Structure formats: structure tokens, C-alpha cells
Chain A
Amino acid sequence: MRVRLFTTCLGDLFAQQAVLSTARVLRRLGHEIELPEQSCCGQPAYNSGFQEEAKPFIAAYLDKFRGSEAVVAPSGSCVAMLRHGLAQFFGEDGEARRLAEHTYEMSQFLLDVEGLRAPKGHFDAKAIYHESCHLSHWLHQGDRAKELLSGIEGLELLTFREPQLCCGFGGTFAVHFPELSIAMADEKLQDLGSPEPDILVASDQGCLMQLGGRIAAKGGKRPEPMHLSVLLDRAGVGK
């Protein structure tokens, strides 16, 4: 399949490994990858109440990604925004509606389009999986992404006591209410258990920046924040 990659702005600015790994895994599974011109999904403006400032981002996405067979992004949050924005701003346009349906978060693509179930791989680590809210509640995927990890040898997968508890990122919420946002991160991190797992896996860079940034600020070394795609890539999925 010809898959177009939406790298997301966080992926371009802060989390390039997640983008590279997504591309590598897709390539190994036999897909061709294209990279149309792109910027951001517009969510920071949209969720802060500036819908008019967000609309041009959605318009640009529709313009540059028109006709895509499938678009994959390493973020449930950006995909939820793109889908929602296409429907809200360009719902009259049949191509916008079609594109929305063909825009996928990475694990969603691997599970639903690729039909991957428990792919084989090897990665020695004790990992804990964080369900990012927008993948779980906005795209209604729950914790299905864990299926992608269940066939990986050497990986011990732990679960949070409260797997659905938000990490406190919330986009501009994190800077509107910094004390609250940090308190939420701390409650999430308290739930890591002891000893801490080696890696903290999630499918959204926002959550990883929030939790990873908090761990680092407190001088912690573990767990290492890791995007799900990076784990799948390093485990050799698709090889």
C-alpha cells in the first residue's frame, strides 16, 4: 500500500525517532511511504478555543494529503484532531470525509488495516504501557495497542493500576495550569510500581514529553520514555 506519513510537529521537532521507527516498520511490512509537505494538525489552537486559527491547518492537510490511500501518524491525538477538524470544517466535501476515515494512528493502522496480531519480535525489557487518552477515549481504541506487544519475546509488559488515568499533558492545559498538570504527572508516575520498569511506552509524544520531562526534572533515570513505534522497530517487527 502507498502510505503517506504525517510526522506531526512534535514528531518533527522533538521525537524524530518515533517518526523514523514508524516509517521503518511500515517499510518492513512492505508499504511504500510518501511524505507530502505538511506542518501541524492545528490542535494547539483548536483546543485553546481559537478555531479560526486552527482551520487553515486542516485546510492545508486536506490540500496536501488529498487522495491518500492511507495516512499514518505516530499520534492518536493529532489523528483525532485531523478527523474531527475535517468533519467540522469541510464536512460538505466528500474527499474530506474520505480522508478523515483513511487517517490512522500508527497502532490503529497496524491492527485494523494491516491486520497485524501479536507480531514476532525480540526486545529485552520490563515495559509499562500508558494508554494515551486521545487514542483511548477520542479514537475509542482503548488499550488495543498492547496486542502489538504481546508477541515480543523478552518483553515483560506491566500495567498501571489505573491505566486510563490521564498523564496531565492536555496541550496548552499543561501551561495554563502548570501546578495541576505536574500533580497529575506525579500521580501517574507514583503508579509505576517498584522497582520502576525500564521503559514507559505510549503512542503519543505529548504524554511521553510530559511524563519523561517530569521524570528528568526530578533527576530520575527510569523508566525511559519510548514511543510504541520505537519499541516495535527495535524489536524487529516486520523483519
Chain B
Amino acid sequence: METQELAGQVAQAVANRGLHEAVARSVDRHSYAALAALSPELRALYKARARAARLRSVRGLADLAEQFIAEAERHGIIVHTAADAAEAVAIVAEIAKRHDARRIVKSKSMATEEVELNRHLAAEGMQVLETDLGEYIVQLAGQRPSHIVAPCLHMARDEIAGLFSREAGREIAKDTPSLTSFARERLREEFREADLGISGGNFLVASEGAVVLVTNEGNGRMCTTLPKVHVALVGVEKLVRSFSDMADALRILPVAATGQLITSYVSIVRGPAKDGEEGPREVHVVLMDAGRSEILGGPYEEVLACIRCGACLDICPVYRQTGGHAYGSVYSGPIGAVLTPLLRPDPAAQALPFLSSLCGACSDVCPVGIHLHEHLVALRARAVARGVAFPSEHAAFRALRRAWTPPRRYRLVRGLMRGALRVGGGVPQLRAWTSGRRLPPVATVRVGELLRREGLIEERR
């Protein structure tokens, strides 16, 4: 049972209290910075504009894709379309092979995580190095990113110093300057040698045929300018109509992610270098669908407006306890629990919407106003319809429905309920409750009776 497997993963993550401490510390830093960055009035204004711009784009996606391809090709960008993950991987691998690429540098990209690009390229004998600091750290640890914008947020500083020391073959101190200067040296060397640079894209601007990258470390710019070939693998939902629509979304993205008004780098890639210019000789864009267009036009369409800021992960009371890996998916937190079952048909993905207390903080914090908690509830119903549920629950709720509606019957079986709860030690659900919480006693007399005795009710019926 997928739900039971998920519950097991979660229990394991929760047992690791060091993980919770590391995650909680980082997400709180993000959330507080995001809260302090804008006045409530400005936040509401930016949110409304970002949502409108993103929804406009999502609803016109097919046309925008066409326009993007035409404009990009006019500037000499070679555009590929990939229907699914396998196609996307094959296209990138083919480009790499054609250029005999041995060493590849990558900037952070969730789309490439989604298709497990690194694993596939490594199988072709290529060496892929992640150059975003956090992504580099999780790569060294042999892990996957645990957060959309901060891949190694779950790791403690000591752990990172250990990884770096092992990589360096000498002791690297755990203070920030020592850690970053080691990574900088190591990565610089690789940027100079790489044959191919791979990136994702935060926005694809249709009217300009441009790929836009939003980064803080400058590694994205190096990946897209130093190697002689640049490939950007981007989900098709990242299309926006114009620079003006992009600006509406870009204004809120860094605020929501880390509380910055703007990131250190916003890079706009408009094509290969012309003669006499420095830069890549070839630029490819792989427009990847991989399940996106199936979401279009349906009840979950607005989910495609997501700008991957990670704010819903940062505010989530579940994520702060479990970190991202417990979700067992590339995207974690509330957006991961919504997006993953929409992109992946497997039963394990369908179970993810259950991993939420439905507090709704995510919907409030989302900078493009996605109704995350409502989608979580709807996707639970979809999971149940597909046969993914917690064991014996369907029978239990069917019985409850029969026993409690119509209301008159509720009155009759209430007494039975009481008895069942009193001797209910054998019911797994009850045991799950009482394993760490006391259950108050069930009242003997109906509350209606008490209200009547006290003369609080108008007897009319």
C-alpha cells in the first residue's frame, strides 16, 4: 500500500530530530525575510499582478510556445520539443554526444531533476557537475535536492564541511568563507574546462524568444556563457507573454523565495554569440511538456502558474518536520504534494496529497495565489477514485455515513459509538491516536439533553 509506505517514510524522517532542527531553522529564515521584505499593501498588489500575468500565460500556452519557437529561432537558438521525460533526456544526450562532451557543468534546474538528467548522462560516460553551491553539496553527498530553491537546506554545516574535506583530500574548516572559497576554486576550474553547459529556465519570454535565469551565485551565467554549447531544459509552463508579464512575476519571485527584492543575477539568454563576440557558439532550448498540457483546461490548471519560489515549503508545518526527502518526489512540500500526482501517474505519487494537515497556510503565502489546500483535498478524492487510500477507510466512512445520516439515526447509534470508543483499543486508528495523546472521555448524555435541561433551547419543533 502506497499510503502505508508514505507513512513509513514520514515516520522515519520524523524520528530524525536533527533534520527537523536544520530544516526549521532555514525555512524560518526564508519566511521571516519574505515577510519583512514588503508591506502588506505592496505584497497584495504584486501578488495580484503576478497571478494575472501567470494565468494569462498559462491559458495561452499553446500559442506562446509557437511564438517562442519562432522568435528564438530567429536569433539562432535551436528549439526542440520533448513530449515526455525520456524524449527530453534523449535530446540533451544527443546534443552532448554530437559535441563529444565529456565534462558538463550545470546550473540548478528542477526540470532536469524531474527527468533525472544527471543519471542518464553519467550512464553515457559523461561527467556532470552541479555548480549551484547547494546543488553541488547534495551531489557530493549522493542525494537529491530537498527544497526547490535551497537544495541542501536539510544539511548541517558540519556535514557539509565533512563532504568538502573528503572531496579536497584535506581538512576544510566549517566557516562560511572557507566552505565557499573551496567550492569556488573547485567550480572555477570546471567552468574553464567544460564542453557543455546545461541550465533550466525561470521564464521563457515568448515575444523575445529569450530564456531568463534568476540566480544568486553567478554560476548560471557561467554555465550559459563559458562552454561553447549551452542547452536549456525548461518546462513549457515557464512561458510568459512578454518582458512586462515576466516583470510582474519576477518582482515577487525573489521576495517570496528568500526575501530579496531582486536576486544577484538575472540573466537573459537571447541566442548564440555572433562572430567576434564571446559566448557559446550554439544555444539549444528543450521545451518539455512531460504531463503539463494534460493539466491545462482542467480543475488544476492554476497549478501551472507556480513560479517555484518554495514559499509554500517554507511555511508548511509538515515540511518543517520532515524535510523534502520524505515526500519521495522531486517536488516536495504543498506544491510537491499537488504537482507530483498531476505529473506522475504512479500510485506512490497519488498518495502524496494525504501528507498535509490541510492548515491552508500554503494557499495564503503563495505569491501567485494557488489554492493549494483545496487542490490537496480534491486530489485526495482523485487518489481514492484511483484506489489509493488508507487501509479499511472506505468501509469505515461508508459505515459512518450509514450510521450518522439521517440525523435521527445519529442519535440512536451515538450510544454504540460511545461503547466502541471505550473498548476500542483494538481499532488501529484509535491506537494511532492514543499512542501519544490522551482521548477525552465520551460524554454519556447527549448535549441536546443538557441544553434542554438548562432551558437554553426554544422548544418549537
Mark the stretch among A94-102, A107-115, A130-138 that contacts chain B.
A130-138
Neighbour of B437 across the interface among A15, A49, A210, CB < 8 A = A210
Q: Give the one of A24, A36, A164, A185 with max B CB within 10 A.
A: A164
- Give residues 18-63 of A contacting B (CB, 8 Å): 19-20, 23-24, 27, 32-40, 44-51, 53-54, 56-57, 59-60
Which residues in chain B, 4-22, are within 8 Å of chain A measured between CB atoms?
7, 10-11, 14-15, 20
| Complex CA distance for A123 and B20, rounded to whole angstroms | 38
User: Number of B residues contacting the other chain (C-beta, 8 Å)?
Assistant: 73
Question: Are A179 and B10 also in contact (CB < 8 A) when A23-B456, A48-B397, A166-B317 are?
Answer: yes
Given A39-B407, A60-B406, A184-B317, A217 and B458 touching (CB < 8 A)? Answer: no
Chain B CB within 8 A of A213 CB: yes
Question: Is B380 among interface residues, defined by CB-CB distance under 8 A?
Answer: yes
Give chain A residues whose Cβ lies under 8 Å from the Cβ of B163. Answer: none
Known contacts A12-B446, A40-B410; is A166 also within 8 Å of B394 by CB?
A: no
8 new A-B contacts, CB < 8 A, other than A20-B450, A173-B357, are: A20-B454, A40-B410, A45-B400, A49-B389, A137-B359, A166-B359, A180-B11, A213-B438
B360 cross-chain contacts in A, Cβ below 8 A: 133-134, 136-138
Number of residues in A with C-beta < 8 Å to the partner?
Answer: 73
Interface stretch among B234-242, B251-259, B428-436? B428-436
A159 within 8 A of B: no
Contact, CB under 8 Å: A19 / B438: no
Cα A137 to Cα B10 in complex, Å, equals 25
CA distance A157 to B442 in the complex (A): 30
Please give the residue numbers on chain A whose beta carbons come within 8 Å of chain B beta carbons, in ascending order. Answer: 2, 5, 7, 9, 11-16, 19-20, 23-24, 27, 32-40, 44-51, 53-54, 56-57, 59-60, 64, 133-134, 136-138, 164-166, 168-185, 187, 209-210, 212-214, 216-217
CA distance A141 to B364 in the complex (A): 12
Q: How far is the CA of A222 from the CA of B233 in the complex (A)?
A: 55
SS class, residues of chain B in contact with chain A? helix
**With a CB–CB cut-off of 8 A, which chain A residues contact B458?**
2, 32-34
Task: List the B residue with the shortest CB-CB distance to A218.
Answer: B436
Within the complex, the shortest CB–CB distance from A189 to chain B, in Å, comes to: 12
Asked if A50 and B457 make an inter-chain contact with CB atoms under 8 angstroms apart, the answer reads: no
Please give me the residue from chain B that is nearest to A182 by CB atom. Answer: B436
Say whether A164 contacts B447, CB under 8 Å: no
The proximity string for B residues 309-340 relative to A, scoring 1 for CB distances below 8 Å and 0 otherwise, is 00000000110111000000000000000000
